[in-house]
Amino acid sequence: MARVRMAPAALLSAVNGADPSTYTSIAPPSRTRWQDPEYRIYFEKCESPAEEAFLKEMLATWYLEPAGNALRALDILLEMQVPLRSYRFDFLIDKWLVVEIDGATYHSAPE
């Protein structure tokens, strides 16, 4: 199988201090992979259009594959709606980087 350098490696390097030249991935699938039925359960966890947009971009950029309740690539683990004490984070990357997309303002606003 051909191996290619991942486009966002510099971003990951900034996050975890690793050398971006070491990051590789199996040749990328279609950028519209998020449309596959096996990914539906992950989109059902999204609570806003902004979270869906973030998830679509993560799938397209990192070529994430289902891994139980999370999504995984060779260099990244993405968990969704992760509880911690009285909070629930929209996304957790590699068990330490919290990504909060819309926060309490979105969820507490009247519809």
Q: What is the pLDDT of residue 103?
A: 76
pLDDT of the residue at 109: 62
- The reported pLDDT for the residue numbered 37 is 85
Q: What is the mean pLDDT of each run of 10 residues along the chain (111 residues)?
A: 43 48 50 78 93 93 92 95 93 96 70 61
Q: What pLDDT is attached to residue 27?
A: 46
pLDDT of residue 65: 93
Strand residues in 6-99 grouped as ranges (E): 24-26, 65-67, 70-72, 77-84, 87-93, 97-99
E-assigned strand segments in the chain: 3-5, 24-26, 65-67, 70-72, 77-84, 87-93, 97-99
Taking the C-alpha atoms of residue 64 and residue 77, their distance in angstroms, rounded to an integer, is 8
